[in-house]
A and B are shown apart, each in its own frame.
Chain A
């Protein structure tokens, strides 16, 4: 019975993090929500009796995917509606 409640709680947490990741406009928070999805997925893989898959998902999904996303955000925009207003001004002047 406790097992069932735990599994349902983890599934609800995963779905809530997925909806938050695509609604939020600040991209850094969306990337951290993607990391939370991978973390819950690790626990679910362990409960479905697959320890090798859980190890791989924990090492790749949580650590390496998050760092590559963060470096991309560092080199591009931070918010979803940001863009360089230089071209907008140029077309407004012409």
Chain B
């Protein structure tokens, strides 16, 4: 019974994160407004972070923090290396979004439009 439950859970979390990446890629490739493209990039980031943390999960594991009486509980802890990588990745993803949005503000001030087809036509 427990084995089937974990099969269903595996199917759910991996599919949801891959679907998030695909939805974000669709928004970044097809939409015409610049702010929608940046929203799509932010959704791709969320999907990738969920995928990375879900790889490091171990059945019936606990968080990798030691308590005073249980110093030898290292056998039942989840993998701490993907969590350290994802922590850096979240901060850098926010920095990239902030710089991209400042470029969007600057483009709007110059061209007075946010559609990428119009901006391609307005080159003198």
On A, residues with C-beta under 8 Å from B are 1, 4, 7-8, 11, 14-15, 18-19, 21-22, 27, 30-31, 34, 37-38, 41, 44-45, 48-53, 56-57, 60-61, 64-65, 68-69, 72-73, 75-77, 80, 82-84, 86-87
Contact = CB atoms under 8 A, between A and B. Distances in A.
A84 B20 contact: no
Interface in B1-17: 5, 8-9, 12-13, 16
A86 B90 contact: no
Contacts of A73: 35
Contacts of A19: 23
Contacts of A8: 12
**B interface SS class:** helix
Given A80-B36, A84-B112, 14 more contacts: A4-B5, A7-B12, A14-B16, A15-B23, A45-B53, A51-B65, A52-B87, A53-B87, A65-B97, A68-B97, A72-B101, A73-B35, A75-B105, A83-B115
